[in-house]
Amino acid sequence: MRRTWLLFSQAVTVAVAVLFVIATLKPDWLERGRPTGLPSGISITAVQPVSRSSGTALNAPSTYSAAAKRATPAVVSITASKAPPRNPHATDPWFQFFFGERGRQLQQQETQIGLGSGVIVSPEGYLLTNNHVIDGADEIEVLLTDGRRASAKLVGSDPETDVAVLKISLDKLPVITFGSIENLEVGDVVLAIGNPFGVGQTVTSGIVSALGRNQLGINTFENFIQTDAAINPGNSGGALVDANGNLLGINTAIYSRTGGSLGIGFAIPVSTAQQVMEGLIRDGHVTRGWIGVEPRDLTPEIAETFNLPVKEGVLITGVLQGGPASAGGMRPGDVVVKVADVPVTNTSQLLAAVAALKPATPATIGIQRGDQTMQLSVTIAQRPKNPLLRNR
């Protein structure tokens, strides 16, 4: 009996040792045949994340260096110089006699210099930047990443979108590729490229935080891309690109209480910038439609006060006498709900819809007048340059 027990103990010891070795060196052997809790014939496999566009596994790249290398050569630094206003008494000897050294100091004020960024968009040397970067400048100099410098000519500017077009005369220019705004979504990775604070070209990364931002009071026509990619003073006019290095927008403004980035930046969509650029190059100005009204957003309180059957639209508080809207029969108190079959729910949408119409052509504008729904035919005019008129 004792011999039998000894043999059994040795066998158990050997079996435990074998299991320990297998568990250490070949653990997958022990997994075979283990019950899964599922009916036979059914197995569990890992689910691969799928890209919304390609249908392939979505693996975020660990670097965006390829996008940066593709886009950065086309992003330039811009120095805009503005001479100080000349004192009308600069050559008056009596002025110099009475004011002496103080008079000479007033006459020798330093030249004002502004720094910004720009994007080369064509081999012919056309650049996109912000109007506020070059506004009022007497001289504009462009610095490329390869060290070349060139004086830039102002082709034209559009203060209402804050877009300006410059032109330089250099050979073998790097050109950025335009991206697609239609496929852009909130959460997409973007890079901001520019020259913040004049420290030199800088690339920052983030995502698209929002699309179609308007009513911010920055420009007349607003349809901004919002991003948390760091944008700082000096980045204005620079590029916002996608993860492939394609141009999505022109960086133009930030929300900040300190002057630096707080993670809320805005870029003009490349579609808007391209449309403005084409108009400036072709005609020297941007042609937009205009009807001559004073609009205001329709609030639920106003709709309830006037007992209106519509809750969304644009209330017309004033109509320019003799203007297109007046000639078409529009009155103060009307609520515009459609422009050429395009629904409008706020003032920004109304301005954009009217601006997109071709001047000297009729357009149907749907309005709500009290309890009546009406269609007015209005002949669109060209938006005037007079600031007292163009906001109406």
Report which of 206, 243, 244 is spatially closest to residue 225, judged by C-alpha positions.
206
28 is catalytic: no
The structure tokens listed for 184 are 């852009």
Q: How many Å apart are CA 17 and CA 25, to the nearest integer?
A: 12
3-state SS, 219-261, equals CCCCCEEEECCCCCCCCCCCEEEECCCCEEEEEEEECCCCCCC
Phi-psi region of 271 (alpha: psi -120 to 50; beta: other; left: phi over 0): alpha
Q: Which of 117, 157, 158, 162 is catalytic?
A: 162
- Residue 49's SS3 state is coil
Task: Give the torsion sign (CA, 65, 69, 75, 76).
Answer: positive
Phi first, then psi, for residue 365 (nearest 5°) are: -120, 120
Q: How many Å apart are CA 196 and CA 213, to the nearest integer?
A: 23
DSSP string, 302-327: HHHHTT-S-SSSEEEEEE-TTSHHHH
Q: What is residue 65's DSSP assignment?
A: H
Q: Which of 132, 157, 228, 242 is catalytic?
A: 132
Q: Which of 157, 236, 261, 348 is catalytic?
A: 236
Kindly compute the dihedral angle of the four CA atoms of residues 374, 375, 379, 383, in this order, to the nearest 10 degrees. Answer: 70
Estimate to the nearest angstrom the gap between the alpha carbon of 295 and the chain centroid: 25
With residue 339 as reference, give the H or E element that holds it. strand 335-339
242 is catalytic: no
Kindly compute the dihedral angle of the four CA atoms of residues 173, 177, 178, 182, in this order, to the nearest 10 degrees. Answer: -170
- Those residues with Cβ within 8 angstroms of residue 319's Cβ, 6 or more apart along the chain or in another chain: 292, 293, 294, 325, 326, 330, 331, 332
- Residue 333's SS3 state is coil
* Active site amino acids: 132, 162, 236
